[in-house]
């Protein structure tokens, strides 16, 4: 119809409308898609609606995106194979003797699992079902137990392979390999901080997480014997990450081979049946469809917003505040955190990255506190990984944090939602520190990709 409206009011209408529709319970994908169509019709013309499929089609034919279903499929097969249970069993027997050992074991198993799967759901839920009762039975403080589970499970989306990295790579037109490699150290950093936090707290106050009683511990020979059961998962991790790191094959192919490996692991656990494949396939299909339809809807929404000058508007307003580059970055982190309280990562990524990234590329980051800064060419990579670390908080921040719901769905009844909320707080702070560290010491992010990819 060709109405015209200043961009400020248009932004308010668009994002206000999005908020209202979301509150009314319409799924994210359809909120963004329908608003885009409505606004295109009101402020553009009918002919522009013909562009919609042309915006959707490139995502249907995107090579990198086919890694999303594959990595989810791999996670689903491994979950059906019982790898999660097995890893936890081994790790907790190793660490049972130290204080808070079960909580540390939870985080470490989650870290290992995160190196095999690229999603959060499967790990979080299964670990919740096995590790939480195990900890409660041994008189662990419920809040510490829940917190370790929440934070550990969320690592799945950060440590490569990671579905979030794939989506970011596609949206930001970045090298997927670099992103995956770049998120290794931040992932390990967070994992290390969780273990440290749990251990320190349990050593200060042993009643939070007592060590296993002597009669439940296993001797060293038994421990070594247990290690045999981790050979297959570890080989699988080495295979997938090795393929990505050495660059012998693309991440998509790594996902394909990894899933093939998962089939073999599943068969070796004697759980590979057609029914398993059916269940894993359907779980994958649903998770993928969810991600992709948000892709379709949000790309229309953001596409229209940028077309109407929204990107320049946001850039002008943010830069107009006169903040220094690092101030801008911190402001963005705060915005992401607030969005993370209500939206899930796919929506946040698709809505914010096309708007924020061009702003950051135009800025210079010479470093803070006299530390080394970021090479302008590395900014998209650096921001991508910081974004991914920030999104860890989105999983944990109430009221709408996915991990909180996952855990609640499997926790015993005496664990209330309020208790889960409170248990997440210290770990949210740790994640905040993680984000700050990645900003202050960009080498955590950019060093490894430089080493790995410098030869090419």
Partner 1 sequence: MPSLTFVLPHWLYWSVLAVFPLVAIYLVRRQAGRADGRPNYFLAYLFLVTAGLVGMHRFYLKNAWGFLFIPVFLAIIWTNGHVRDAREGVSHTRADFESSERQVNRAKADVGRQQEGAEARLKQAEGEAAQANTGYLAAQADKAQADLYARIAAIVLGLMLLGDAILLPGLVRRARERETSPPPELAAHPMETAVPDSRAPAPNVPGIGFIDNLSRVIGEFTAYWAVLAVFAYYYEVIGRFVFNSPTNWVHESMFLMFGMQYMLAGAYAYRDETHVRVDIIYNQFSARGRAICDLITSVFFFLFTGVMVWSGWRFASDAVALRESSFTEWGIQYWPVKLTIPIGAALLLLQGVSRLVRDIRVVARKGG
Task: Name which of residues 294 to 323 contact partner 1 (CB under 8 A).
Answer: 294, 297
Q: Which of 1, 24, 204, 221 binds partner 1 (CB under 8 A)?
A: 24
Q: Which of 5, 13, 15, 27 binds partner 1 (CB under 8 A)?
A: 27
Query: Would you count residue 451 as binding partner 1 (CB under 8 A)?
Result: no
List of E strands, 356-425: none
Q: Name every residue whose Cβ is closer than 8 Å to that of residue 297 and which is 6 or more positions away in sequence.
A: 28, 29, 30, 31, 32, 33, 34, 36
The one among 173, 200, 225, 286 contacting partner 1 by CB under 8 A: 286
Minimal distance in Å, beta carbon 327 to partner 1?
29
Comparison of 68 and 448: residue with beta carbon closer to partner 1 = 68
Q: What is the torsion angle, in degrees rounded to the nearest 10, for the CA atoms of residue 20, residue 21, residue 24 and residue 28?
A: -130
Q: List the interface residues with partner 1, window 39-78 (CB under 8 A).
A: 49-50, 52-54, 56-57, 59-63, 65-66, 69-70, 73, 76
146 binds partner 1 (CB under 8 A): no
User: Would you count residue 277 as binding partner 1 (CB under 8 A)?
Assistant: yes
Q: Is 3 in the site for partner 1 (CB under 8 A)?
A: no
Q: Does 414 bind partner 1 (CB under 8 A)?
A: no
CA distance 151 to 224: 28
3-state helix, strand, coil in the chain (%, to 5): 80, 0, 20
Q: Judged by CB under 8 A, which of 285, 306, 307, 437 binds partner 1?
A: 285
Q: Coil, strand, or helix at residue 192? A: helix
72, 74, 69, 66: which is closest to 264 by C-alpha? 74
In the list 319, 410, 419, 436, the residue contacting partner 1 (rule: CB under 8 A) is 410
Shortest CA distance to 249 belongs to which of 3, 63, 29, 16?
63
Residue 365 is given by DSSP the state B
Residue of 279, 312, 319, 335 interacting with partner 1 (CB under 8 A): 279
| Binder of partner 1 out of 183, 191, 230, 259 (CB under 8 A) | 259
Cβ pair 279, 80 in contact under 8 A: yes
- Cα 297 to chain centroid distance, Å, stands at 21
| Residue number with CB closer to partner 1 (5 or 21) | 21
Q: What is 211-235 written as a DSSP string? A: PPPGGG---HHHHHHHHGGGHHHHH
Give the 3-state secondary structure of 252-265: HHHHHHHHHHHHHH
Sign of CA dihedral 360, 365, 367, 373: positive
- Within 8 A by CB and 6+ apart from 60, the residues are none
Q: Which is nearer to partner 1, 376 or 412 (CB)?
A: 412
Decide whether 2 or 25 has the Cβ nearer to partner 1. Answer: 25
Asked whether position 38 contacts partner 1 by CB under 8 A, the answer is: yes
- In eight-state DSSP terms, residue 374 is B
Residue 406 interacts with partner 1 (CB under 8 A)? yes
Query: Which listed residue (7, 10, 14, 29) binds partner 1 by CB under 8 A?
Result: 29
Q: Considering the complex, state which of residue 180 and residue 294 has its C-beta at the smaller distance from partner 1.
A: 294
Binding partner 1 (rule: CB under 8 A), the pick from 137, 270, 414, 454 is 270
Return the residues of window 192-251 that contact partner 1 according to CB under 8 A: 248-249
Closest approach, Cβ 286 to partner 1, in A, equals: 4
Tell which one of 173, 205, 207, 278 touches partner 1 (CB under 8 A): 278
Q: How far apart are CA 15 and CA 308, in angstroms?
A: 14
Compute and round to an integer the Cα radius of gyration of the chain. 23
Residue of 144, 145, 343, 353 that binds partner 1 (CB under 8 A): 343
Burial 151-176 (b: 16+ CB within 10 A, else e): bbbbbbbbbbbbbbbbbbbbbbebbb
The residue (of 101 and 258) whose beta carbon lies closer to partner 1 is 258
Q: Is 173 in the site for partner 1 (CB under 8 A)?
A: no
- Report if residue 274 touches partner 1, rule: CB under 8 A: yes
Q: How far is the CB of 368 from partner 1 (least distance, A)?
A: 35
326 binds partner 1 (CB under 8 A): no
């Amino acid at each position: 119809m060709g109405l015209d409206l200043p961009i400020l009011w248009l932004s308010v209408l668009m994002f206000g409308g999005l908020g209202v529709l979301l509150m009314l319970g319409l799924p994210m994908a359809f909120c963004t898609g329908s608003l885009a169509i409505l606004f295109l019709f009101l402020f553009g013309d009918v002919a522009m609606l013909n562009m919609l499929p042309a915006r959707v089609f490139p995502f249907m034919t995107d090579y990198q995106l086919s890694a999303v279903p594959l990595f989810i499929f791999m996670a689903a097969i491994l979950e059906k194979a019982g790898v999660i249970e097995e890893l936890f069993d081994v790790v907790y027997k190793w660490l049972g003797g130290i204080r808070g050992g079960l909580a540390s074991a939870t985080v470490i198993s989650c870290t290992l699992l995160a190196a095999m799967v690229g999603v959060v759901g499967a790990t979080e839920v299964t670990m919740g079902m096995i590790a939480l009762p195990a900890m409660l039975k041994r008189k662990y403080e419920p809040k510490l137990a829940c917190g370790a589970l929440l934070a550990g499970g969320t690592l799945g989306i950060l440590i490569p392979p990671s579905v979030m990295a794939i989506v970011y790579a596609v949206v930001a037109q970045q090298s997927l390999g670099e992103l995956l490699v770049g998120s290794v150290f931040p992932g390990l950093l967070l994992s290390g901080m969780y273990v440290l936090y749990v251990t320190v707290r349990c050593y200060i106050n042993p009643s939070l997480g007592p060590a296993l009683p002597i009669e439940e511990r296993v001797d060293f020979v038994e421990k070594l014997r247990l290690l045999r059961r981790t050979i297959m998962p570890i080989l699988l991790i080495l295979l997938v990450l090795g393929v990505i790191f050495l660059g012998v094959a693309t991440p998509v192919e790594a996902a394909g081979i990894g899933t093939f490996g998962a089939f073999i692991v599943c068969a070796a656990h004697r759980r590979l049946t057609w029914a398993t494949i059916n269940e894993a396939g359907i779980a994958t299909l649903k998770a993928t469809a969810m991600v992709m339809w948000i892709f379709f809807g949000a790309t229309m929404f953001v596409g229209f917003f940028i077309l109407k000058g929204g990107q320049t508007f946001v850039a002008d307003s943010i830069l107009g505040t006169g903040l220094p580059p690092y101030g801008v970055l911190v402001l963005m982190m705060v915005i992401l955190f607030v969005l993370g309280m209500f939206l899930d990562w796919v929506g946040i990524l698709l809505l914010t990255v096309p708007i924020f990234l061009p702003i950051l590329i135009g800025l210079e980051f010479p470093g803070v506190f006299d530390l080394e800064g970021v090479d302008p060419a590395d900014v998209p990579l650096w921001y991508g990984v910081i974004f991914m670390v920030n999104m860890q908080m989105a999983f944990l921040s109430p009221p709408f944090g996915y991990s909180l719901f996952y855990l609640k769905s499997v926790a015993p009844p005496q664990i209330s939602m309020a208790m889960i909320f409170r248990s997440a707080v210290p770990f949210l702070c740790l994640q905040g520190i993680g984000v700050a560290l990645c900003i202050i010491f960009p080498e955590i992010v950019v060093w490894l990709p430089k080493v790995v990819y410098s030869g090419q």
